[in-house]
């Protein structure tokens, strides 16, 4: 396989190398690989990421991915990747069913871990992972969950404004994450629609993002929820790879074992109310993540389809001229923007992953706890579990247990 030195630019680079091993190479793997390739070329990182190896079970598939994505070598067993002395960070981009096993093995082997969201498929797994991460941190081993949207510059700016008190006491958080890729009942039964692999459906895949964002932006944790969930299409054609004819061909079908949509209300520790909608059935909505915060002094609103913009209403301005105004978040003063293009030259989805790598590498080099931590991932998992419990009990108000010794979020 061709050797590619991704970050030395052909010039002398005396920064210590950071060997990266990634497990899984599909959509999320491609997004992470792009970020590992790019972060050190845009930001001045204290360590030099080296894309050492990618692991996947299919030898031809993983080799092709390595070529495309820029990995130096391949492994067909993730255990071999975790055991490699030239791997310092294990980046987990597999379906949720294997997150816990891989992360626990990597932490035990003294590797830093970046794990895709949601952290795990159950609270029990997430607890074990957060516990292992806390013990590993004492030995200087770092772990982070891949809630990439925190690294959207406009949302990082929103967090800064909330922390500065620009909204005052929060009253409402309103969050939606809408997709439509399974509205067709003949769409096949892919892994994301199977509980044993994905843990839950729209709830864990999309709801996890907006729960994390809501808690991150508010700087507070959710203390309870009331929820409804629904599975609109309960059986789907088995994917062709499982031996069934192509979708719509009248072949074997299997049960959908996760939710298609989850709607819930919640309450924050500080008293603010929240509403959440996560669905894969919002026909016409491809990847619509929207969040709005209303406080006693003002409001903020964000829409991923216009991700370079943040809308701010300053409720302290004179009523005659007050109103929402659009902040174009491309100034060098804005989070992450100092390293990118001149003002007005907009960023996209992939940059959130680049920023995630930037922050992880800085945390590793400085010996700091990265954010979101596995404890933050567990906090989201506790909310998801409370949502499922509430929905199963007819929307009964369900408390989200506090983590012992945990910070606000």
With binding defined as CB under 6 A, does residue 179 bind ligand SOE?
yes
**Would you say 205 or 388 has its CB closer to ligand SOE?**
205
Q: How far is CA 279 from the centre of its chain?
A: 16
Q: Which two tokens stand for residue 61?
A: 């598939």
Cβ at position 106, least distance to ligand SOE in Å: 21
Burial 119-151 (b: 16+ CB within 10 A, else e): bbbbbebbbbbbebbbebbeeebbbbbbbbbbb
Residue 97 in contact with residue 91, Cβ under 8 Å?
no
Rounded distance between C-alpha atoms, residue 323 and residue 188, angstroms: 46
Q: Which is nearer to ligand SOE, 141 or 304 (CB)?
A: 304
Q: Smallest gap, in angstroms, from Cβ of residue 337 to ligand SOE?
A: 21
Q: Are β-strands 273-279 and 235-237 bridged in parallel, bridged antiparallel, or unpaired?
A: unpaired
Closest to ligand SOE by CB, 40 or 153:
153
Helix (H, G, I), strand (E, B) or coil at 113: strand
Residues in 329-358 at the binding interface with ligand SOE, rule: CB under 6 A? none
The minimum distance between CB 24 and ligand SOE, in angstroms, equals 12
Cα 368 to its chain centre, rounded Å, is 20
- Our finding on whether 135 is near ligand SOE (CB under 6 A) is no
Site for ligand SOE in 223-262 (CB under 6 A): none
Total interface residues for ligand SOE by CB under 6 A = 4
Q: Are strands 309-314 and 73-75 parallel, antiparallel or unpaired?
A: unpaired
The SS3 call for residue 93 is coil
Q: What is the pattern of x (binds ligand SOE, CB under 6 A) and - over residues 180-219?
A: -------------------------x--------------
Residue 36 CA to residue 25 CA, distance in Å, equals 13
Query: 201 or 295: whose CB is closer to ligand SOE?
Result: 201
User: Which residue's CB is nearer to ligand SOE, number 147 or number 340?
Assistant: 147
Shortest Å, Cβ 148 to ligand SOE: 7
The CB-of-145 to ligand SOE minimum distance in angstroms stands at 11
Provide the 8-state DSSP code for 370. Answer: P
Beta carbon of residue 276, minimum distance to ligand SOE (angstroms, whole number): 15
Please tell me whether residue 75 binds ligand SOE under the rule CB under 6 A: no
Residues 13-72 that bind ligand SOE (CB under 6 A): 27
Minimum distance of ligand SOE from residue 21's CB (angstroms): 21
CA 341 to chain centre: 25
Residue of 286, 287, 332, 402 that binds ligand SOE (CB under 6 A): 287
Residue closer to ligand SOE by CB (options 94, 179) is 179
H helices present in 248-373, as ranges: 349-366
CB of 205 to ligand SOE, least distance (A): 5
The answer to whether residues 372 and 233 touch, using CB atoms and an 8 Å cutoff, is: no
Burial class of residue 157 in the structure, from the number of CB atoms within 10 Å of its CB (0-12 exposed, 13-18 middle, 19+ buried): buried
Question: Is beta strand 73-75 parallel, antiparallel or unpaired with respect to 48-55?
Answer: parallel
CA distances to 122, 228, 258, 343, 379 from 199, in Å: 7, 17, 8, 41, 16
Taking the complex as a whole, how short is the minimal distance between the CB of residue 179 and ligand SOE, in angstroms? Answer: 6
296's enclosing H/E stretch is none
**Residue with the shortest CB distance to ligand SOE:** 205
Q: Which is nearer to ligand SOE, 121 or 226 (CB)?
A: 121
Closer by beta carbon to ligand SOE, 268 or else 336: 336
Nearer to ligand SOE, 87 or 213 (CB): 213
Q: Residues interacting with ligand SOE, by CB under 6 A?
A: 27, 179, 205, 287
């Amino acid at each position: 396989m061709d050797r590619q030195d991704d970050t030395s630019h052909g010039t002398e680079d005396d920064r210590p190398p950071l060997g990266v091993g990634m497990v899984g190479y599909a959509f999320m793997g491609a997004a992470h690989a792009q970020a590992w390739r790019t972060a050190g070329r845009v930001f001045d990182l204290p360590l030099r990421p080296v894309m050492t190896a990618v692991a996947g079970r299919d030898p031809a598939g993983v080799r092709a991915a390595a070529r495309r994505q820029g990995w130096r070598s391949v492994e067909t067993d993730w255990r071999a990747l975790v055991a490699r002395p030239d791997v310092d960070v294990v980046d987990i981009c597999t379906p949720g069913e294997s997150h816990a096993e891989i992360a626990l093995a990597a932490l035990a082997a003294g590797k830093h871990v970046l794990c895709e969201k949601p952290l795990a498929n159950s609270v029990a797994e997430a607890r074990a992972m957060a516990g292992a991460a806390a013990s590993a941190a004492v030995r200087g081993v770092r772990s982070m969950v891949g809630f990439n949207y925190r690294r959207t510059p406009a949302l990082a700016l929103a967090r800064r404004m909330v922390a500065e008190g620009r909204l005052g006491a929060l009253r409402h958080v309103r969050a939606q994450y809408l997709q439509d890729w399974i509205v067709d009942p003949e769409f096949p039964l892919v892994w994301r629609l199977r509980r044993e692999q994905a843990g839950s459906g729209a709830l864990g895949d999309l709801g996890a993002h907006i729960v994390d964002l809501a808690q991150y932006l508010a700087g507070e944790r959710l203390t309870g929820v009331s929820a409804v969930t629904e599975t609109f299409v309960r059986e789907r054609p088995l994917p062709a790879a499982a031996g069934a004819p192509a979708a719509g061909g009248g072949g074997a079908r299997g049960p959908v074992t996760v939710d298609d949509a989850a709607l819930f209300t919640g309450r924050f520790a500080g008293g603010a109310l929240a509403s959440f909608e996560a669905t894969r059935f919002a026909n016409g909505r491809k990847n619509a993540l929207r969040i709005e915060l209303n406080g006693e002094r003002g409001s903020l609103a964000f829409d991923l389809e216009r991700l370079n913009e943040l809308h701010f209403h300053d409720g302290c301005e004179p009523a005659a001229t007050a109103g929402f105004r659009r902040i174009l978040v491309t100034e060098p003063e804005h989070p992450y923007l100092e390293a990118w293009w001149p003002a007005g030259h907009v960023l996209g989805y992939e940059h959130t992953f680049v920023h995630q790598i930037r922050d992880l590498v800085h945390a590793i080099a400085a010996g700091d706890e990265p954010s979101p931590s596995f404890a933050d991932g567990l906090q989201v998992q506790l909310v998801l579990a409370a949502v499922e419990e509430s929905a199963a009990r007819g929307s009964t108000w369900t408390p989200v247990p506090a983590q012992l010794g945990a910070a606000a979020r």
